[in-house]
Amino acid sequence: MTERTLIIVKPDSMSKRVGGKVLNALESCGLQMVACKMLQLSRPSAEDFYGEHKGKEFYEPLVAFMSSNPCIVTVWEGAGAIKKAREVIGATDPAQAKDDTIRKMYATDNRHNAVHGSDSFKSAEREIAFFFNHEEIFPWQEKIYKK
If binding is defined by CB under 6 A, does position 92 make contact with ligand UDP?
yes
Tell me the window of 14-22, 31-39, 106-114, 129-137 that interacts with ligand UDP (CB under 6 A): 106-114
Question: In the 8-state DSSP scheme, what is residue 100?
Answer: T
Contact partner, 84, from Mg ion, ligand UDP, none, Cβ < 5-8 Å per class: none
The smaller minimum CB distance to ligand UDP, of residues 105 and 140, is found at: 105
Q: What angle do CA 55, 57, 62 make, to 5 degrees?
A: 95
Tell me the window of 32-40, 109-117, 125-133, 134-142 that interacts with ligand UDP (CB under 6 A): 109-117
First to last CA, the chain: 31
If binding is defined by CB under 6 A, does position 16 make contact with ligand UDP?
no
Strand order in the sheet with 2-9: 32-39, 71-79, 2-9, 115-117
User: DSSP letters of 66-80?
Assistant: HTSS-EEEEEEEEET
| 116 in active site | yes
Tell me the window of 28-36, 40-48, 64-72, 112-120 that interacts with Mg ion (CB under 5 A): 112-120
The smaller minimum CB distance to Mg ion, of residues 98 and 138, is found at: 98
If binding is defined by CB under 6 A, does position 84 make contact with ligand UDP?
no
The nearest distance, CB 53 to Mg ion, in angstroms, is 8
- CA-only gyration radius of the chain, Å: 15
> Is residue 119 within a helix (H) or strand (E), and if so which, with residue range?
none
Give how far the C-alpha of residue 5 lies from the chain's centroid of Cα atoms, to the nearest Å. 8
- List residues binding ligand UDP (CB under 6 A): 58, 62, 92, 110-111, 113, 116, 119
